[in-house]
Chain A
Amino acid sequence: MIDTQQMQSLAARMTEAEVKGRSPWADARRRFRRNKAAMVSLVILILVALFAIFGNSLAGWSNEEMDFEVMGNAATMGMPSFANGHYFGTDDLGRDLFSRTVQGTQVSLMVGLIGAGIAVIVGTLYGATAGYVGGRTDAIMMRTVDILLAIPYMFVLILLLVIFGRSMSMLFLGIGLISWLEMSRIVRGQTLSLKNREFIEAARATGVPGWKIIIRHIVPNLLGVVAVYATLLVPLMILSESFISFLGLGVQEPLTSWGALISEGAGTMNYGTLWQLIFPLFFFCITLFAFFFVGDGLRDALDPKDR
Chain B
Amino acid sequence: MFGFILRRLAVAIPTLLLLIVLSFLLMHAAPGGPFTQERALPPQIIANLNAKYGLDEPLWRQIINYVWGIVAHFDFGPSFVYPDRTVNQIIAAGFPVTLTYGGIAFVAAVLVGVSLGVSAAIRQNSWVDYLAVGTSIGAQVLPNFVMAPILVLVFTLWLGWLPGGGWGGPIYWIMPVVALSTSFMASIARITRSSMLEVLGSNHIRTARAKGLSESKVILRHALKPALLPVISYLGPAFVTMITGSVVVDMYFSTGGIGRSFVDSALNRDYAVMMGITILVGALTILFSLVVDVLYAWIDPKIRY
A249/B266 contact (C-beta < 8 A), A1-B190, A146-B11, A150-B286 known: yes
Assess the B240–A152 pair: CB atoms within 8 A. yes
Can you name the residue of chain A whose Cβ is closest to the Cβ of B245? Answer: A243
The 0/1 profile, CB within 8 Å of B marked 1, for residues 140-169 of chain A is 000100110011101110111111110000
- B interface SS class: helix
Complex: A132 Cα to B19 Cα, angstroms: 29
Interface residues in B22-42 by Cβ distance below 8 A to A read 23, 26-27, 29-31
A288/B141 contact (C-beta < 8 A), A247-B263, A269-B153 known: yes
The 0/1 profile, CB within 8 Å of A marked 1, for residues 259-286 of chain B is 0001100110101001101100110011
Complex: A5 Cα to B190 Cα, angstroms: 13
Can you name the residue of chain A whose Cβ is closest to the Cβ of B243? Answer: A152
Assess the B285–A5 pair: CB atoms within 8 A. no
Which of A152, A162, A247, A281 gathers most chain B CB within 10 Å?
Answer: A152
A151/B145 contact (C-beta < 8 A), A1-B190, A163-B271, A247-B248 known: no
Q: What residues of B have a CB within 8 angstroms of the CB of A127 in the complex?
A: none
The answer to whether B219 has its CB under 8 Å from any CB of chain A is: no
Complex: A162 Cα to B23 Cα, angstroms: 12
What's the least CB distance linking A116 to chain B, in Å?
Answer: 17
What's the least CB distance linking B249 to chain A, in Å?
Answer: 12
Complex: A164 Cα to B31 Cα, angstroms: 7
Assess the A288–B285 pair: CB atoms within 8 A. no
Complex: A53 Cα to B93 Cα, angstroms: 48
What's the least CB distance linking B240 to chain A, in Å?
Answer: 6
Complex: A262 Cα to B142 Cα, angstroms: 12
Assess the B281–A152 pair: CB atoms within 8 A. yes
Complex: A269 Cα to B243 Cα, angstroms: 26
Q: For chain B, which range describes its interface: under 10, 10 to 19, 20 to 34, or 35 or more residues?
A: 35 or more
Complex: A284 Cα to B137 Cα, angstroms: 15
A246/B248 contact (C-beta < 8 A), A147-B14, A266-B148, A266-B149 known: yes
What's the least CB distance linking B209 to chain A, in Å?
Answer: 25
A152/B248 contact (C-beta < 8 A), A1-B190, A147-B18 known: no
Q: What residues of B have a CB within 8 angstroms of the CB of A248 in the complex?
A: 263, 267
Assess the A152–B11 pair: CB atoms within 8 A. no
Assess the A247–B247 pair: CB atoms within 8 A. yes
The answer to whether A112 has its CB under 8 Å from any CB of chain B is: no
Assess the A156–B141 pair: CB atoms within 8 A. no
What's the least CB distance linking A150 to chain B, in Å?
Answer: 5
Q: For chain A, which range describes its interface: under 10, 10 to 19, 20 to 34, or 35 or more residues?
A: 35 or more
The 0/1 profile, CB within 8 Å of B marked 1, for residues 271-297 of chain A is 000100100010011001100100000
The answer to whether A242 has its CB under 8 Å from any CB of chain B is: yes
Can you name the residue of chain B whose Cβ is closest to the Cβ of A267? Answer: B149
Complex: A44 Cα to B103 Cα, angstroms: 38
The answer to whether B230 has its CB under 8 Å from any CB of chain A is: yes
Complex: A284 Cα to B243 Cα, angstroms: 23
Complex: A4 Cα to B233 Cα, angstroms: 10
Q: What residues of A have a CB within 8 angstroms of the CB of B191 in the complex?
A: 3
Q: What residues of B have a CB within 8 angstroms of the CB of A143 in the complex?
A: 11
Complex: A285 Cα to B137 Cα, angstroms: 11
Q: What residues of A have a CB within 8 angstroms of the CB of B146 in the complex?
A: 262, 281, 284-285
Assess the B277–A155 pair: CB atoms within 8 A. yes
The answer to whether A265 has its CB under 8 Å from any CB of chain B is: yes
Complex: A246 Cα to B244 Cα, angstroms: 13
Can you name the residue of chain B whose Cβ is closest to the Cβ of A160? Answer: B26
The answer to whether B118 has its CB under 8 Å from any CB of chain A is: no
Can you name the residue of chain B whose Cβ is closest to the Cβ of A155? Answer: B278
Can you name the residue of chain A whose Cβ is closest to the Cβ of B164? Answer: A270
Q: What residues of A have a CB within 8 angstroms of the CB of B247 in the complex?
A: 154, 247
Assess the B145–A269 pair: CB atoms within 8 A. no
The answer to whether B207 has its CB under 8 Å from any CB of chain A is: no
Assess the A270–B157 pair: CB atoms within 8 A. yes
Q: What residues of A have a CB within 8 angstroms of the CB of B228 in the complex?
A: none
A262/B266 contact (C-beta < 8 A), A5-B230, A155-B244, A159-B23 known: no
Assess the B145–A1 pair: CB atoms within 8 A. no
19 contacts between A and B (CB under 8 A): A1-B140, A1-B187, A5-B230, A155-B244, A158-B266, A158-B274, A159-B278, A242-B145, A243-B143, A243-B145, A243-B248, A266-B149, A269-B149, A269-B152, A269-B153, A277-B153, A289-B137, A289-B140, A292-B137
In the complex, besides A147-B18, A262-B149, A292-B137, 11 extra interface pairs with C-beta distance below 8 angstroms are A143-B11, A151-B19, A155-B274, A156-B278, A162-B269, A162-B274, A243-B143, A243-B248, A249-B267, A269-B153, A285-B141
